[in-house]
Structure 1
Protein backbone atom coordinates (compact mmCIF):
# COMPACT_ATOMS: atom_id res chain seq x y z
CA UNK A 1 0.00 0.00 0.00
CA UNK A 2 1.28 3.44 -0.98
CA UNK A 3 0.92 6.09 1.74
CA UNK A 4 1.51 9.86 1.67
CA UNK A 5 2.73 11.16 5.03
CA UNK A 6 2.66 14.88 5.86
CA UNK A 7 3.57 17.10 8.80
CA UNK A 8 4.46 20.58 10.05
CA UNK A 9 4.89 22.54 6.83
CA UNK A 10 2.46 22.82 3.94
CA UNK A 11 4.21 21.91 0.70
CA UNK A 12 4.00 24.70 -1.90
CA UNK A 13 4.73 22.05 -4.52
CA UNK A 14 1.54 20.21 -3.56
CA UNK A 15 -0.73 23.15 -2.65
CA UNK A 16 0.23 25.65 -5.36
CA UNK A 17 1.27 23.32 -8.19
CA UNK A 18 -0.69 20.10 -7.63
CA UNK A 19 0.31 17.39 -10.10
CA UNK A 20 -2.05 14.37 -9.88
CA UNK A 21 0.45 12.09 -11.64
CA UNK A 22 2.93 12.57 -8.76
CA UNK A 23 0.41 11.06 -6.32
CA UNK A 24 -1.00 8.29 -8.50
CA UNK A 25 -1.62 5.12 -6.53
CA UNK A 26 -1.75 6.79 -3.10
CA UNK A 27 -4.26 4.76 -1.04
CA UNK A 28 -3.95 6.54 2.30
CA UNK A 29 -2.77 9.89 3.70
CA UNK A 30 -1.43 10.18 7.26
CA UNK A 31 -0.87 13.54 8.95
CA UNK A 32 1.47 13.87 11.93
CA UNK A 33 0.11 17.30 12.85
CA UNK A 34 0.76 21.05 12.75
CA UNK A 35 -0.81 21.61 9.35
CA UNK A 36 -3.65 23.93 8.37
CA UNK A 37 -7.06 22.24 8.33
CA UNK A 38 -7.64 23.64 4.84
CA UNK A 39 -4.48 21.92 3.60
CA UNK A 40 -5.61 18.52 4.88
CA UNK A 41 -9.04 19.02 3.32
CA UNK A 42 -7.32 19.96 0.04
CA UNK A 43 -5.21 16.78 0.13
CA UNK A 44 -8.15 14.46 0.75
CA UNK A 45 -10.12 16.17 -2.04
CA UNK A 46 -7.36 16.14 -4.67
CA UNK A 47 -5.83 12.74 -3.95
CA UNK A 48 -9.12 10.89 -3.31
CA UNK A 49 -7.75 8.77 -0.47
CA UNK A 50 -8.80 8.67 3.19
CA UNK A 51 -6.80 10.88 5.55
CA UNK A 52 -6.13 10.01 9.19
CA UNK A 53 -4.52 12.59 11.47
CA UNK A 54 -3.24 13.29 14.96
CA UNK A 55 -2.84 16.72 16.55
CA UNK A 56 0.37 18.67 16.58
CA UNK A 57 1.08 21.07 19.44
CA UNK A 58 -0.10 24.02 17.27
CA UNK A 59 -3.39 22.48 16.07
CA UNK A 60 -5.61 24.57 18.34
CA UNK A 61 -8.00 25.65 15.56
CA UNK A 62 -9.01 22.03 14.87
CA UNK A 63 -11.37 22.23 17.87
CA UNK A 64 -13.64 24.77 16.17
CA UNK A 65 -12.74 24.01 12.55
CA UNK A 66 -11.49 20.44 12.02
CA UNK A 67 -10.23 19.35 8.60
CA UNK A 68 -13.20 18.38 6.45
CA UNK A 69 -13.32 14.84 5.10
CA UNK A 70 -10.52 13.67 7.43
CA UNK A 71 -10.58 11.38 10.47
CA UNK A 72 -8.99 12.16 13.82
CA UNK A 73 -7.40 8.98 15.23
CA UNK A 74 -6.11 10.41 18.54
CA UNK A 75 -6.07 7.68 21.20
CA UNK A 76 -7.54 5.12 18.78
CA UNK A 77 -6.49 2.02 16.91
CA UNK A 78 -7.97 1.89 13.39
CA UNK A 79 -7.65 -0.59 10.53
CA UNK A 80 -7.37 0.34 6.87
CA UNK A 81 -6.91 -2.35 4.20
CA UNK A 82 -5.62 -4.68 6.91
CA UNK A 83 -3.05 -2.16 8.23
CA UNK A 84 -3.44 -1.40 11.96
CA UNK A 85 -2.70 2.22 12.91
CA UNK A 86 -2.61 3.84 16.36
CA UNK A 87 -2.66 7.62 16.88
CA UNK A 88 -0.93 9.56 19.68
CA UNK A 89 -0.55 13.24 18.82
CA UNK A 90 0.89 16.12 20.79
CA UNK A 91 4.32 17.12 22.02
CA UNK A 92 6.27 17.20 25.26
CA UNK A 93 4.74 19.72 27.69
CA UNK A 94 6.65 23.00 27.53
CA UNK A 95 3.85 25.52 28.27
CA UNK A 96 0.17 25.58 29.21
CA UNK A 97 -0.96 25.06 25.60
CA UNK A 98 -3.19 22.24 24.40
CA UNK A 99 -1.91 18.98 22.89
CA UNK A 100 1.10 18.91 25.23
CA UNK A 101 1.86 16.03 27.57
CA UNK A 102 4.32 15.04 30.25
CA UNK A 103 6.11 11.71 29.88
CA UNK A 104 3.76 10.28 32.52
CA UNK A 105 0.64 11.52 30.68
CA UNK A 106 1.80 10.05 27.34
CA UNK A 107 2.57 6.74 29.03
CA UNK A 108 -0.96 6.76 30.53
CA UNK A 109 -2.47 7.34 27.07
CA UNK A 110 -0.66 4.21 25.85
CA UNK A 111 -1.79 2.22 28.91
CA UNK A 112 -5.43 3.13 28.19
CA UNK A 113 -5.06 1.56 24.71
CA UNK A 114 -3.74 -1.81 25.96
CA UNK A 115 -7.05 -3.62 25.40
CA UNK A 116 -7.34 -2.34 21.83
CA UNK A 117 -3.72 -3.31 21.18
CA UNK A 118 -4.43 -6.81 22.52
CA UNK A 119 -7.68 -7.09 20.55
CA UNK A 120 -5.93 -6.08 17.31
CA UNK A 121 -2.85 -8.24 18.05
CA UNK A 122 -0.63 -5.15 18.03
CA UNK A 123 -0.28 -2.50 15.34
CA UNK A 124 1.66 -1.89 12.14
CA UNK A 125 1.98 1.91 12.36
CA UNK A 126 2.29 4.23 15.35
CA UNK A 127 1.31 7.73 14.19
CA UNK A 128 2.60 10.49 16.49
CA UNK A 129 3.48 14.15 16.38
CA UNK A 130 6.41 14.05 18.78
CA UNK A 131 9.56 12.10 17.94
CA UNK A 132 11.18 9.31 19.93
CA UNK A 133 13.53 10.23 22.77
CA UNK A 134 17.12 10.49 21.48
CA UNK A 135 16.15 9.27 17.98
CA UNK A 136 15.78 12.30 15.73
CA UNK A 137 14.44 14.57 18.45
CA UNK A 138 15.70 17.97 19.66
CA UNK A 139 17.70 19.07 22.68
CA UNK A 140 15.13 21.55 24.05
CA UNK A 141 12.12 20.48 26.11
CA UNK A 142 9.65 21.43 23.38
CA UNK A 143 11.26 19.16 20.78
CA UNK A 144 12.40 16.36 23.07
CA UNK A 145 10.87 13.00 22.20
CA UNK A 146 9.09 10.54 24.46
CA UNK A 147 10.90 7.67 26.20
CA UNK A 148 7.63 5.71 26.37
CA UNK A 149 7.71 5.40 22.55
CA UNK A 150 10.90 3.33 22.95
CA UNK A 151 9.15 1.17 25.55
CA UNK A 152 6.21 0.84 23.14
CA UNK A 153 8.45 -0.29 20.25
CA UNK A 154 10.19 -2.80 22.53
CA UNK A 155 6.85 -4.33 23.50
CA UNK A 156 4.71 -4.12 20.33
CA UNK A 157 7.28 -3.97 17.47
CA UNK A 158 5.33 -1.79 14.99
CA UNK A 159 6.74 -1.82 11.45
CA UNK A 160 6.66 1.99 11.34
CA UNK A 161 6.63 4.93 13.71
CA UNK A 162 5.72 8.11 11.83
CA UNK A 163 6.21 11.49 13.49
CA UNK A 164 6.64 15.20 12.81
CA UNK A 165 7.45 18.13 15.09
CA UNK A 166 11.23 18.06 14.53
CA UNK A 167 11.59 20.07 11.32
CA UNK A 168 14.27 18.69 9.05
CA UNK A 169 15.55 22.23 8.46
CA UNK A 170 16.38 22.57 12.19
CA UNK A 171 19.80 21.05 11.51
CA UNK A 172 18.94 17.41 12.18
CA UNK A 173 18.27 16.52 8.59
CA UNK A 174 17.94 12.74 8.82
CA UNK A 175 14.44 11.64 7.80
CA UNK A 176 14.72 7.91 8.50
CA UNK A 177 16.06 6.04 11.54
CA UNK A 178 15.93 2.37 12.47
CA UNK A 179 15.21 1.09 15.98
CA UNK A 180 15.36 -2.70 16.16
CA UNK A 181 12.52 -3.87 13.86
CA UNK A 182 10.80 -0.46 13.64
CA UNK A 183 11.54 2.09 10.93
CA UNK A 184 11.08 5.63 12.29
CA UNK A 185 10.22 8.25 9.67
CA UNK A 186 9.99 12.02 10.11
CA UNK A 187 7.04 13.15 7.98
CA UNK A 188 8.17 16.82 7.81
CA UNK A 189 6.80 18.39 4.62
CA UNK A 190 5.74 15.30 2.75
CA UNK A 191 7.11 11.85 2.01
CA UNK A 192 5.74 8.79 0.22
CA UNK A 193 6.17 5.33 1.74
CA UNK A 194 5.01 1.80 0.91
CA UNK A 195 3.94 -0.85 3.38
Structure 2
Protein backbone atom coordinates (compact mmCIF):
# COMPACT_ATOMS: atom_id res chain seq x y z
CA UNK A 1 0.00 0.00 0.00
CA UNK A 2 1.24 3.47 -0.87
CA UNK A 3 0.24 6.55 1.14
CA UNK A 4 0.80 10.23 0.42
CA UNK A 5 1.45 11.79 3.83
CA UNK A 6 1.26 15.55 4.37
CA UNK A 7 1.57 18.00 7.25
CA UNK A 8 2.21 21.63 8.31
CA UNK A 9 3.12 23.24 4.98
CA UNK A 10 1.74 22.88 1.48
CA UNK A 11 4.14 21.17 -0.90
CA UNK A 12 4.41 22.70 -4.40
CA UNK A 13 4.87 19.19 -5.80
CA UNK A 14 1.47 18.25 -4.37
CA UNK A 15 -0.27 21.58 -4.94
CA UNK A 16 0.37 21.30 -8.66
CA UNK A 17 -1.43 20.70 -11.92
CA UNK A 18 0.67 17.54 -12.21
CA UNK A 19 -0.61 16.01 -8.98
CA UNK A 20 -2.80 13.44 -10.72
CA UNK A 21 0.06 12.00 -12.76
CA UNK A 22 2.69 12.37 -10.04
CA UNK A 23 0.67 10.58 -7.35
CA UNK A 24 -1.60 8.39 -9.46
CA UNK A 25 -0.48 5.22 -7.69
CA UNK A 26 -1.19 6.26 -4.08
CA UNK A 27 -4.03 4.43 -2.31
CA UNK A 28 -4.87 7.07 0.30
CA UNK A 29 -3.72 10.36 1.82
CA UNK A 30 -2.82 10.96 5.48
CA UNK A 31 -2.59 14.43 7.04
CA UNK A 32 -1.13 15.26 10.44
CA UNK A 33 -2.68 18.73 10.51
CA UNK A 34 -1.89 22.46 10.32
CA UNK A 35 -3.08 22.58 6.72
CA UNK A 36 -6.06 24.44 5.21
CA UNK A 37 -9.13 22.42 4.26
CA UNK A 38 -8.97 23.87 0.75
CA UNK A 39 -5.66 22.02 0.31
CA UNK A 40 -7.37 18.76 1.24
CA UNK A 41 -10.23 19.53 -1.13
CA UNK A 42 -7.77 20.08 -3.98
CA UNK A 43 -5.99 16.79 -3.27
CA UNK A 44 -9.20 14.76 -3.00
CA UNK A 45 -10.73 16.24 -6.13
CA UNK A 46 -7.49 15.69 -8.07
CA UNK A 47 -6.67 12.17 -6.91
CA UNK A 48 -10.10 10.79 -5.97
CA UNK A 49 -8.53 8.97 -3.03
CA UNK A 50 -9.63 8.82 0.63
CA UNK A 51 -7.97 11.37 2.92
CA UNK A 52 -7.66 10.88 6.69
CA UNK A 53 -6.75 13.89 8.81
CA UNK A 54 -6.35 15.33 12.29
CA UNK A 55 -6.12 18.96 13.32
CA UNK A 56 -2.89 20.45 14.65
CA UNK A 57 -2.57 23.70 16.60
CA UNK A 58 -2.97 26.02 13.59
CA UNK A 59 -5.56 26.31 10.78
CA UNK A 60 -8.36 25.64 13.27
CA UNK A 61 -11.12 27.67 11.62
CA UNK A 62 -13.48 24.69 11.40
CA UNK A 63 -12.30 22.71 14.42
CA UNK A 64 -15.38 23.37 16.56
CA UNK A 65 -17.67 22.19 13.78
CA UNK A 66 -15.90 18.87 13.38
CA UNK A 67 -15.80 18.35 17.15
CA UNK A 68 -19.54 19.07 17.50
CA UNK A 69 -21.21 15.96 16.08
CA UNK A 70 -24.65 17.58 15.75
CA UNK A 71 -23.20 20.46 13.73
CA UNK A 72 -21.24 18.05 11.56
CA UNK A 73 -24.36 16.04 10.76
CA UNK A 74 -26.11 19.16 9.57
CA UNK A 75 -23.01 20.31 7.67
CA UNK A 76 -23.43 23.74 9.25
CA UNK A 77 -21.72 25.52 12.10
CA UNK A 78 -21.77 28.89 13.74
CA UNK A 79 -19.14 31.59 13.70
CA UNK A 80 -19.66 35.08 15.10
CA UNK A 81 -23.35 34.27 15.48
CA UNK A 82 -23.79 33.41 11.81
CA UNK A 83 -24.46 30.10 10.13
CA UNK A 84 -21.39 28.88 8.27
CA UNK A 85 -21.37 25.80 6.01
CA UNK A 86 -18.59 23.29 6.28
CA UNK A 87 -16.45 22.87 3.18
CA UNK A 88 -17.75 19.76 1.36
CA UNK A 89 -14.27 18.38 0.76
CA UNK A 90 -14.94 14.78 1.79
CA UNK A 91 -11.99 14.07 4.09
CA UNK A 92 -12.27 11.54 6.93
CA UNK A 93 -11.99 13.39 10.25
CA UNK A 94 -9.87 11.02 12.37
CA UNK A 95 -9.12 13.15 15.45
CA UNK A 96 -10.05 11.24 18.61
CA UNK A 97 -11.43 8.37 16.55
CA UNK A 98 -10.58 4.86 15.39
CA UNK A 99 -11.62 4.30 11.78
CA UNK A 100 -11.67 1.26 9.53
CA UNK A 101 -11.07 1.57 5.79
CA UNK A 102 -12.79 -1.57 4.55
CA UNK A 103 -11.53 -1.27 0.99
CA UNK A 104 -7.88 -1.38 2.10
CA UNK A 105 -8.40 -3.34 5.34
CA UNK A 106 -6.67 -0.50 7.16
CA UNK A 107 -7.27 0.62 10.75
CA UNK A 108 -6.43 4.25 11.49
CA UNK A 109 -6.56 6.12 14.81
CA UNK A 110 -5.99 9.84 15.32
CA UNK A 111 -4.87 12.05 18.21
CA UNK A 112 -4.30 15.60 16.98
CA UNK A 113 -3.35 18.75 18.83
CA UNK A 114 -0.20 19.87 20.62
CA UNK A 115 1.09 20.23 24.15
CA UNK A 116 -0.60 23.15 25.93
CA UNK A 117 1.64 26.20 25.73
CA UNK A 118 -0.90 29.05 25.86
CA UNK A 119 -4.69 29.31 25.91
CA UNK A 120 -5.14 28.42 22.26
CA UNK A 121 -7.50 25.78 20.90
CA UNK A 122 -6.64 22.10 20.48
CA UNK A 123 -3.86 22.11 23.06
CA UNK A 124 -3.69 19.50 25.79
CA UNK A 125 -1.89 18.65 28.99
CA UNK A 126 -0.32 15.23 29.21
CA UNK A 127 -3.18 14.08 31.43
CA UNK A 128 -5.80 15.32 28.96
CA UNK A 129 -4.14 13.53 26.06
CA UNK A 130 -3.97 10.34 28.11
CA UNK A 131 -7.72 10.43 28.73
CA UNK A 132 -8.34 11.13 25.04
CA UNK A 133 -6.44 7.93 24.32
CA UNK A 134 -8.45 5.96 26.90
CA UNK A 135 -11.69 6.88 25.12
CA UNK A 136 -10.40 4.92 22.13
CA UNK A 137 -9.88 1.68 24.04
CA UNK A 138 -13.34 0.10 23.40
CA UNK A 139 -12.98 0.50 19.65
CA UNK A 140 -9.37 -0.68 19.71
CA UNK A 141 -10.43 -3.73 21.71
CA UNK A 142 -13.13 -4.46 19.13
CA UNK A 143 -10.46 -4.42 16.42
CA UNK A 144 -8.22 -6.71 18.42
CA UNK A 145 -11.01 -9.23 18.91
CA UNK A 146 -12.57 -9.16 15.45
CA UNK A 147 -9.76 -8.01 13.14
CA UNK A 148 -6.77 -9.59 14.83
CA UNK A 149 -4.88 -6.39 15.67
CA UNK A 150 -5.52 -3.13 17.51
CA UNK A 151 -4.59 -0.55 14.87
CA UNK A 152 -2.30 -0.13 11.87
CA UNK A 153 -1.56 3.62 11.85
CA UNK A 154 -1.77 6.27 14.56
CA UNK A 155 -1.93 9.81 13.16
CA UNK A 156 -0.82 12.51 15.59
CA UNK A 157 0.15 16.13 15.16
CA UNK A 158 2.72 16.31 17.95
CA UNK A 159 5.60 13.88 18.17
CA UNK A 160 6.04 11.25 20.88
CA UNK A 161 8.13 12.39 23.81
CA UNK A 162 11.83 12.03 23.04
CA UNK A 163 11.31 10.80 19.48
CA UNK A 164 11.82 13.70 17.11
CA UNK A 165 10.20 16.33 19.34
CA UNK A 166 11.80 19.57 20.57
CA UNK A 167 12.67 21.07 23.95
CA UNK A 168 10.31 24.07 24.01
CA UNK A 169 6.87 23.59 25.56
CA UNK A 170 4.96 24.03 22.29
CA UNK A 171 6.92 21.33 20.48
CA UNK A 172 7.41 18.93 23.36
CA UNK A 173 6.10 15.45 22.61
CA UNK A 174 3.56 13.38 24.54
CA UNK A 175 4.50 10.37 26.64
CA UNK A 176 0.91 9.21 26.05
CA UNK A 177 1.97 8.28 22.53
CA UNK A 178 4.71 6.06 23.94
CA UNK A 179 2.06 4.30 26.02
CA UNK A 180 -0.17 3.95 22.97
CA UNK A 181 2.63 2.32 20.98
CA UNK A 182 3.49 0.00 23.86
CA UNK A 183 -0.11 -1.12 24.41
CA UNK A 184 -1.59 -1.16 20.91
CA UNK A 185 1.42 -1.80 18.67
CA UNK A 186 0.62 0.24 15.55
CA UNK A 187 2.87 -0.41 12.60
CA UNK A 188 3.31 3.35 12.13
CA UNK A 189 2.93 6.58 14.05
CA UNK A 190 2.80 9.49 11.60
CA UNK A 191 3.21 13.02 13.00
CA UNK A 192 4.04 16.56 11.96
CA UNK A 193 4.47 19.74 14.06
CA UNK A 194 8.28 19.62 13.96
CA UNK A 195 9.33 21.54 10.86
CA UNK A 196 12.29 20.12 8.99
CA UNK A 197 14.28 23.09 7.71
CA UNK A 198 16.84 20.62 6.40
CA UNK A 199 14.90 18.16 4.27
CA UNK A 200 17.77 15.69 4.66
CA UNK A 201 17.24 15.66 8.42
CA UNK A 202 16.23 12.37 10.01
CA UNK A 203 12.48 11.76 9.84
CA UNK A 204 12.53 8.26 11.27
CA UNK A 205 12.57 6.75 14.75
CA UNK A 206 11.59 3.35 16.11
CA UNK A 207 9.83 2.63 19.39
CA UNK A 208 9.11 -0.98 20.33
CA UNK A 209 7.53 -2.33 17.11
CA UNK A 210 6.36 1.00 15.73
CA UNK A 211 8.04 3.11 13.07
CA UNK A 212 7.68 6.81 13.92
CA UNK A 213 7.84 9.15 10.91
CA UNK A 214 7.76 12.93 10.73
CA UNK A 215 5.67 13.60 7.62
CA UNK A 216 6.35 17.36 7.47
CA UNK A 217 5.33 18.88 4.13
CA UNK A 218 5.05 15.56 2.26
CA UNK A 219 6.27 11.99 2.53
CA UNK A 220 5.54 8.82 0.55
CA UNK A 221 4.97 5.77 2.72
CA UNK A 222 5.20 2.60 0.64
CA UNK A 223 4.58 -0.61 2.59
CA UNK A 224 3.25 -3.70 0.77
CA UNK A 225 2.25 -5.24 4.12
CA UNK A 226 -0.28 -2.50 4.83
CA UNK A 227 -3.77 -3.23 3.59
CA UNK A 228 -3.30 -7.00 3.58
CA UNK A 229 -4.81 -7.84 6.92
CA UNK A 230 -1.47 -7.57 8.69
CA UNK A 231 -0.02 -10.93 7.81
CA UNK A 232 2.37 -10.58 10.74
CA UNK A 233 -0.50 -9.85 13.13
CA UNK A 234 0.10 -12.91 15.32
CA UNK A 235 3.52 -11.57 16.22
CA UNK A 236 2.24 -8.08 17.02
CA UNK A 237 -0.76 -8.74 19.26
Same fold (TM over 0.5): yes
C-alpha deviations, 1:59-92, integer Å up to 9, x for none?
3112465571212111111111211100110000
Residue in structure 1 matching 2:89, options 57, 68, 71: 68
Counterpart for residue 155 of structure 1:
183
Counterpart for residue 100 of structure 1:
123
1:110 aligns with 2:133: yes
Q: Could you say what secondary structure the match of 2:197 adopts? A: helix
Counterpart for residue 48 of structure 1:
48
C-alpha deviations, 1:85-138, integer Å up to 9, x for none?
001100000011111000000000011111111001110100110101010001
Give the whole-Å Cα distance in 2 for the aligned partners of 1:86 and 1:26.
20
Q: CA RMSD of the aligned region, Å?
A: 1.7
Counterparts in 2 of 1:66 and 1:149: CA distance versus 1, 3 Å: farther
Larger radius of gyration: 2
Counterpart for residue 163 of structure 2:
135
* Conserved? CA contact 2:19–2:46, under 8 Å: no
1:79 aligns with 2:100: yes
Instruction: Decide which moves more: 61-70 or 83-92.
Output: 61-70
Give the whole-Å Cα distance in 2 for the aligned partners of 1:111 and 1:93.
19
1:30 aligns with 2:30: yes
Q: Could you say what secondary structure the match of 2:219 adopts? A: strand
Counterparts in 2 of 1:170 and 1:94: CA distance versus 1, 3 Å: farther
Q: Could you say what secondary structure the match of 1:87 adopts? A: strand
Instruction: Decide which moves more: 18-27 or 157-166.
Output: 18-27
Superposition TM-score, scaled by structure 2 size? 0.78
Counterparts in 2 of 1:192 and 1:172: CA distance versus 1, 3 Å: closer
Superposition TM-score, scaled by structure 1 size? 0.94
Aligned length, in residue pairs: 195
Give the whole-Å Cα distance in 2 for the aligned partners of 1:68 and 1:6.
16
C-alpha deviations, 1:30-79, integer Å up to 9, x for none?
11000111111101111110111000100311246557121211111111
Counterparts in 2 of 1:4 and 1:171: CA distance versus 1, 3 Å: closer
* Conserved? CA contact 2:7–2:34, under 8 Å: yes
Counterparts in 2 of 1:108 and 1:172: CA distance versus 1, 3 Å: farther
Unmatched 5+ residue regions in structure 2?
A: 64-83, 145-149, 227-237
Residue in structure 2 matching 1:185, options 213, 220, 232: 213
